[in-house]
Structure 1
Amino acid sequence: MASTIEWELYRAFLGVLREGSLSGAARALDVAQPTVGRHVAALEAALGLVLFTRSQTGLLPTEAAHALRAHAAAMESTAAALERTASGLRDGLEAAAGTVRISVSDVVGVEVMPAIVADLARRHPALKVELVLSNRVHDLLQREADIAVRMTAPRQEQLVARRVGTIELGLHAHPDYLARRGTPAMLADLDAHAVIGYDRPTPFVRQAAKALPGYARERFAVRTDSDVAQLALIRAGAGIGVCQVPLAARAPALVRVLPDAFTFRLDTWVTMHEDLRASPRCRVAFDALVDGLAGYLASAQALKGR
């Protein structure tokens, strides 16, 4: 096996894995299709492995390709992190310039982050933000992101973390829905209501189910694993569902139901790799996230105090 294999070969390999064909990978990577084919063939020759087999539907990855995928993806993350760091160095270490990659959950990314990013852009116009919306916990040690907003405390010693506060979840519904169907007075009343919930269980869902007996898939009138879609459905009056309390207060305002029967709290942390502590681009983004999320949580406390 060749001792040195160029990154471009692995990049083509990942492109075919994700797109399922040479043509799809070529479009995604913005290179010519024959180039992708040559790179994949060169990688197979260098490794001494068959990575793809042809089928009527495209290229099918072999067992060897699946085994290599995580390692190639880690290389991709490291290469991207190198480029982000280099972009900051080109623009000067003393300025908050370059690119910062931030990982947040779907709902926080759609509902909370736009205002934070807009404020960050006004104060640091040379800063570029890559916003990754996913409920998957991105690996900061592998540099899949520079900064992450997490709902669990980080355990790795190499991470810098700041606890922002607690996000409370509760059952909510649109006033129009409650006007049509009535307001439940106890948990048992939910049997007569359209409840919005998940399609497939996750660790969070299993935790929430412990706090809300009967929160089970077969009882949901509408099912989706997208938190953003669940929020939109609640706002549209499709039923009763779980929502962050600070979001429920936004227009159109939602009504909380059964607050004494169900509440769930998520610790909220902003984290980044300790090696990025001295990076101006990451430091200003980290501080902006802490301040912005703290303001978001404070707004919920102010509303509760009314």
Structure 2
Amino acid sequence: MDSTIDWQLYRSFLAVLREGSLSAAARALGQAQPTLGRHIDALEAALGIPLFTRSQGGLLPTDAARALRPHAEAMSSHAAALERMASSQGDAPRGVVRITSSEVVGVEVLPPMLAELRRRHPAVTIELALSNRAQDLLQREADIAVRMLAPQQAQLIARPVGAIEIGLFAAPAYLAEHGEPASVDDLNKHSLIGFDQPSAFQREAAKRMSGMAREKFALRSDSDLAQLALLRAGAGLGFCQLPLARRDGLRRILPEHYALRLDTWISMHEDLRHNRACKAVFDALVEGMQHYAGHRPPDRPKSG
């Protein structure tokens, strides 16, 4: 096996894996299809193994290709991190910073903070990766994470920003039509909004909250944004972060029975502590999320 394989060959390999065909991978990378084909042939020759089989539906990865995928993805993450680090050098904050957060936080909470951040630091470019899957900061899939989960890795810098409360809510229009439940048993008369395929966290939360099993939900979705949209539209009762519910004028239902407080953290890899752009973004997110969670930071001392 050739030990000096060009990274570009792995990049093309990963694109074909993700897109399923040479033509789609070529469009994704902005390259010519014959070039991608030569890259795959060259990589197979260098590794001494077949990576794809041809079919009418496109290219099907072999077992060897599937085994190589996580390593190629790690290479891609590190290459992107290297580019972001290189772009951030200089005296003033500049360059690309990749933030990961849940869908709801990324869509509903972070935009005003990022708008203010860009006003302060226009040379900083933000990449926002929204996923309920916790992306790996150690593998540099992202630079900074906003998560309702305490980081466990010692190599991460982490700041707690307070606990965000989650409760059961309904839109006023829904309650005007269907009435307000006075007890947990009354929920059987109402439309509940919830998950479809539960995560480990949701299964654990359901154990502590009676009446919140999957079969009880009249409207099911694994998208938190879809659930929030249904709640706002008056489709039923659903869970929401307290600050968002207050902002939207939603009314809380049975708070003595349905309440979760989730500690929230901002994290980044310790290697980025001297990166001016990452530090500026990290500090802005800590300040913004503390304010959002209701734990405002102390006033800063006046200079001079």
TM superposition score normalised by structure 1: 0.95
Q: Is residue 107 of structure 1 aligned with residue 98 of structure 2?
A: no
**Identity value in percent:** 64
Using the TM superposition, give the Cα deviation of residue 28 of structure 1 relative to its aligned residue in structure 2, in angstroms: 0.5
Q: Determine the structure 1 residue equivalent to 2:30.
A: 30
Q: Determine the structure 2 residue equivalent to 1:285.
A: 281
Q: Determine the structure 2 residue equivalent to 1:304.
A: none
Question: Which of 183, 187, 190 is the matching residue for 1:190?
Answer: 187
Using the TM superposition, give the Cα deviation of residue 299 of structure 1 relative to its aligned residue in structure 2, in angstroms: 8.3
State whether residues 211 and 264 of structure 1, in contact with CA within 8 Å, keep that contact through their aligned partners in structure 2.
no
CA RMSD of aligned residues (A): 1.1
Amino acid at match of 2:94: A
Query: Counterpart of 1:100 in 2: which secondary structure?
Result: strand
Amino acid at match of 1:257: I
Where in structure 1 are there 5+ consecutive unaligned residues?
301-306
Q: Determine the structure 1 residue equivalent to 2:261.
A: 265
Amino acid at match of 1:281: A
Query: Counterpart of 2:132 in 1: which secondary structure?
Result: coil
Query: Counterpart of 1:95 in 2: which secondary structure?
Result: coil
Q: Determine the structure 1 residue equivalent to 2:300.
A: none
State whether residues 246 and 299 of structure 1, in contact with CA within 8 Å, keep that contact through their aligned partners in structure 2.
no
The CA distance in 1 between the partners of 2:58 and 2:68, in whole Å, is 19
Q: Is residue 9 of structure 1 aligned with residue 21 of structure 2?
A: no
State whether residues 161 and 295 of structure 2, in contact with CA within 8 Å, keep that contact through their aligned partners in structure 1.
no
Amino acid at match of 1:13: F
Amino acid at match of 2:56: Q
The CA distance in 1 between the partners of 2:286 and 2:262, in whole Å, is 15
Q: Is residue 249 of structure 1 aligned with residue 262 of structure 2?
A: no
Query: Counterpart of 2:140 in 1: which secondary structure?
Result: coil
Amino acid at match of 1:86: A
Q: Determine the structure 1 residue equivalent to 2:123.
A: 126
Amino acid at match of 1:48: G
Using the TM superposition, give the Cα deviation of residue 214 of structure 1 relative to its aligned residue in structure 2, in angstroms: 2.4
The CA distance in 2 between the partners of 1:299 and 1:236, in whole Å, is 30
Q: Is residue 158 of structure 1 aligned with residue 172 of structure 2?
A: no
State whether residues 186 and 261 of structure 1, in contact with CA within 8 Å, keep that contact through their aligned partners in structure 2.
no
The CA distance in 2 between the partners of 1:55 and 1:241, in whole Å, is 45
Q: Which whole-Å deviations, capped at 9, do the CAs of 1:162-208 have from their partners, x for residues lacking one? A: 00010110000100101111111111111111000111110121122
Amino acid at match of 1:230: Q
Q: Which whole-Å deviations, capped at 9, do the CAs of 1:87-107 have from their partners, x for residues lacking one? A: 112xx1x21001100001100
Moved more, 101-110 or 206-215: 206-215
Q: Determine the structure 2 residue equivalent to 1:39.
A: 39
Moved over 6 A (4+): none
Amino acid at match of 1:286: F
Query: Counterpart of 2:13 in 1: which secondary structure?
Result: helix
The CA distance in 2 between the partners of 1:275 and 1:161, in whole Å, is 13
Amino acid at match of 2:182: A
Query: Counterpart of 2:257 in 1: which secondary structure?
Result: coil
The CA distance in 1 between the partners of 2:11 and 2:173, in whole Å, is 51
Q: Determine the structure 1 residue equivalent to 2:207.
A: 210
Q: Determine the structure 1 residue equivalent to 2:301.
A: none
State whether residues 211 and 263 of structure 1, in contact with CA within 8 Å, keep that contact through their aligned partners in structure 2.
no
The CA distance in 1 between the partners of 2:247 and 2:77, in whole Å, is 36
Q: Determine the structure 1 residue equivalent to 2:69.
A: 69
Q: Determine the structure 2 residue equivalent to 1:146.
A: 143
Q: Which whole-Å deviations, capped at 9, do the CAs of 1:27-77 have from their partners, x for residues lacking one? A: 001100011111111111111111111122111111111111111000000
Query: Counterpart of 1:66 in 2: which secondary structure?
Result: helix
Q: Determine the structure 2 residue equivalent to 1:303.
A: none
How many aligned positions are there? 296
The CA distance in 1 between the partners of 2:275 and 2:164, in whole Å, is 29
Q: Which whole-Å deviations, capped at 9, do the CAs of 1:229-275 have from their partners, x for residues lacking one? A: 10110000000011111100113x10110100111111100000000
Query: Counterpart of 1:59 in 2: which secondary structure?
Result: strand
The CA distance in 2 between the partners of 1:286 and 1:238, in whole Å, is 37
Query: Counterpart of 1:259 in 2: which secondary structure?
Result: coil
Where in structure 2 are there 5+ consecutive unaligned residues?
297-304
The CA distance in 2 between the partners of 1:299 and 1:147, in whole Å, is 20
Q: Is residue 18 of structure 1 aligned with residue 14 of structure 2?
A: no
The CA distance in 2 between the partners of 1:213 and 1:60, in whole Å, is 46
Using the TM superposition, give the Cα deviation of residue 221 of structure 1 relative to its aligned residue in structure 2, in angstroms: 0.8
